[in-house]
Amino acid sequence: MTGRFMTIKSAADFEKMKVAGAVVASVHAAIREAAVPGVTTLELDTIAHEVIRKADCRPSFLGYHGFPASICASPNEVIVHGIPDRSKLRDGDILSIDVGAIYEGWHGDAAFTMAIGDVTPEAQQLIEVTEQGLWAGIAAARPGNRLGDVGAAISAVAAPYGYGVVREYIGHGIGRQMHEAPDVPNYGKKGRGLKLKAGMAIAIEPMFNIGTAETSVQDDGWTVVTQDGKLSAHWEHTVLITKEGPVVSTLPEPKLVS
Ligand code: MG
């Protein structure tokens, strides 16, 4: 995090963030198409890198604190920060992909989880409910609301399913840096925390686990897994807070959530 206070962006800054966000969305689309049984996550990383470069952007993740790739690829019990490698995707896996792109110094950051081939109903439900958690958080990210409203909306979606809501890894402010103030937790109390204002931008990124919320980091120093080895899903969008409401920048077209 850089600084304690969130910067307020101009309309022109938001336009650049929308360009970065659209490139992130096109990486997502390319990976969704390519990620089938037998493909390696290293191959997906190559695809992502090419899409980002062709769009005259830079990958946010490559070299970030030494991270060696343009995407995080996190299968099954991996929650976040998985490093692409030569292992092949298998039918029945779930796979979380997180990507960031920089356009003229401005960032977009988004993640999704997908099924590889046929997955169990439990896995499919985890994917869908985690995405619902993201959209509940986005809907709460409007001027006058507080970050506690965002976190409470997200964790309320997980609660009926008994999912573990990861606490050690959370969303963040975003703009000229991928990670800026403030922290954006996936839990919280309604009416508490920083008040949101037009001109702020945040990345909202719930991670829900079928079992425990507890996490471990593997020996590579990056890969975060569930302590019980059960499945985890991760969804993220970059959200621009405007007078009209939250605008999701990391879609093919920016989307105002009313
Ligand atoms: Mg993020």
pLDDT at 258: 87
Q: Which amino acid is at 30?
A: A
Looking at residues 108-121, what average pLDDT do you find? Answer: 98
Q: Which two three-digit tokens encode residue 216?
A: 């471990």
146 CA distance to ligand 1 middle (Å): 19
Q: What residue has token string 């020996």?
A: 219
For the ranges 3-12, 97-106, 174-183, 233-242, which has the lowest average pLDDT? 3-12
pLDDT at 3: 52
What 3-state class would DSSP assign to 99? Answer: strand
- What percentage of the chain has pLDDT greater than the value 70? 98
A 10 A CB-CB count for 254 gives 18
Residue 40 DSSP label: B
Decide if pLDDT at 122 tops 50.
yes
Looking at residues 210-218, what average pLDDT do you find? Answer: 98
pLDDT at 1: 45
| 5 lies in some domain | no
pLDDT at 6: 78
| 202 lies in some domain | yes
Looking at residues 91-117, what average pLDDT do you find? Answer: 98
d(CA 155, CA 157): 5
172 CA distance to ligand 1 middle (Å): 7
pLDDT at 138: 98
202 CA distance to ligand 1 middle (Å): 9
112 CA distance to ligand 1 middle (Å): 11
| 153 lies in some domain | yes
Is the preceding peptide bond at 160 cis, omega within 30 degrees of 0? no
d(CA 206, CA 52): 24
- What percentage of the chain has pLDDT greater than the value 90? 97
pLDDT grade for 5, boundaries at 50, 70 and 90: low
pLDDT grade for 2, boundaries at 50, 70 and 90: very low
- The pLDDT mean for the chain works out to 97
246 CA distance to ligand 1 middle (Å): 17
| 1 lies in some domain | no
Length of the chain in terms of residues written: 258
List % helix, strand, coil for the chain (3-state, nearest 5). Answer: 30, 30, 40
**More confident site: 128 or 5:** 128
| 3 lies in some domain | no
67 CA distance to ligand 1 middle (Å): 14
Q: Does the predicted model carry a pTM greater than 0.85?
A: yes
68 CA distance to ligand 1 middle (Å): 17
Segments forming the whole domain that contains residue 250: 11-256
179 CA distance to ligand 1 middle (Å): 7
| 111 lies in some domain | yes
CA distance between the termini of the chain = 29
> Residue 68 sits in a domain of what CATH number?
3.90.230.10
| 205 lies in some domain | yes
Is residue 225 within 8 A of residue 75, CB to CB? The reply is no
Among 170, 171, 163, residue whose Cα is nearest residue 228: 163
| 4 lies in some domain | no
What 3-state class would DSSP assign to 95? Answer: strand
Q: What are phi and psi of 108, to 5 degrees?
A: -130, 145
Decide if pLDDT at 66 tops 80.
yes
Decide if pLDDT at 207 tops 70.
yes
Among 151, 124, 148, residue whose Cα is nearest residue 206: 151
Domain count, the chain: 1
228 CA distance to ligand 1 middle (Å): 24
**DSSP string over 18-31:** HHHHHHHHHHHHHH
pLDDT grade for 56, boundaries at 50, 70 and 90: very high
Is the preceding peptide bond at 182 cis, omega within 30 degrees of 0? yes
40 CA distance to ligand 1 middle (Å): 23
Decide if pLDDT at 88 tops 80.
yes
pLDDT at 7: 83
pLDDT grade for 98, boundaries at 50, 70 and 90: very high
What 3-state class would DSSP assign to 217? Answer: strand
Among 127, 123, 65, residue whose Cα is nearest residue 91: 123
d(CA 34, CA 244): 36
169 CA distance to ligand 1 middle (Å): 9
61 CA distance to ligand 1 middle (Å): 10
